[in-house]
Amino acid sequence: MTVKLHCFGESGNAYKAALTLELAGMDWEPVYVDFFGGASRSDEYRDLNVMAEAPVLVDGDFTLSQSGAIQQWVVDQTGQLGGAAEDKYEVLRWLLFDNHKMSSQAGVTRFLMNFLPVNKRPQEAIKFMQGRVMGALKTLETHFAGRTWIVGDTMTIADIANCGYLFYPEPYGFVRADWPNIDAWLGRIEATPGWKHPYDLMPGNPSDRA
């Protein structure tokens, strides 16, 4: 049975789930969520996910939301991208780092700077959030000194989680060339067979609303 992922291209959180499904080789298909049209706030969507967020994975009668949970489900289903057994909690540690320190900061900052009307962009909040993004990036940049992947010797869902917002072109303070260790790591991810840019992997693109 084909797994369905309710998602949209602009969402870094959806990208983490979609890229995990793709690189693990699962049979899946995207279901477009018109987030900017209010689809995730509809009663129908809330019946699917009371949190009113994307992504949501549906496999027959099984439904799961939250990107980190979906990523771990894929690992459990396929045996792929989980790393060595002894690294389980280290992978989890970096998954939680991303959810709380990286994506939560980068995602909000990118939204405020690119998807709100210009006259409604809160400059003080943006400045504060950019500082938080820089702090998370410094942690990653330092961690990659002498390392290929975040945990162990192979790509894991920790890598896919932490890169979730770093491939997007919209400006929010991250300039890839300023972070040589992160840049090299992103290059390794891009070179992985099956890798796709978020706007190629999922439906939905800012140009659709231009």
Dihedral angle at the C-alpha atoms of 136, 140, 142, 146, nearest 10 degrees? 180
The pLDDT tens digits of the residues spanning 150-207 come to 999 999 999 999 999 999 999 999 999 999 999 999 999 999 999 999 999 999 999 8
Could you give the strand order of the β-sheet that contains 3-7, starting from the edge strand earlier in sequence? 28-32, 3-7, 56-59, 62-65
Q: How many CB atoms lie within 10 A of CB 117?
A: 6
Output helix, strand, coil percentages for the chain, rounded to the nearest 5: 55, 10, 35
DSSP state of 81: S
Q: What is the pTM of this model?
A: 0.96
Q: Please state, rounded to an integer, the average pLDDT across all residues of the chain.
A: 96
Domains (range + CATH), the chain: 3-81 (3.40.30.10), 85-190 (1.20.1050.10)
The pLDDT tens digits of the residues spanning 6-62 come to 999 999 999 999 999 999 999 999 999 988 888 888 888 898 888 888 999 999 999
- Tell me how far apart the alpha carbons of residues 8 and 61 are, in angstroms, rounded to a whole number: 22
Query: Per DSSP, what are the bridge partners of residue 74?
Result: none
- Tell me how far apart the alpha carbons of residues 179 and 187 are, in angstroms, rounded to a whole number: 12
Residue corresponding to tokens 């162990």: 152
- Tell me how far apart the alpha carbons of residues 160 and 71 are, in angstroms, rounded to a whole number: 9
- pLDDT for 143 equals 98
| Strand intervals (E) in the chain | 3-7, 28-32, 56-59, 62-65
- Dihedral (CA of 72, 19, 157, 99) sign: negative
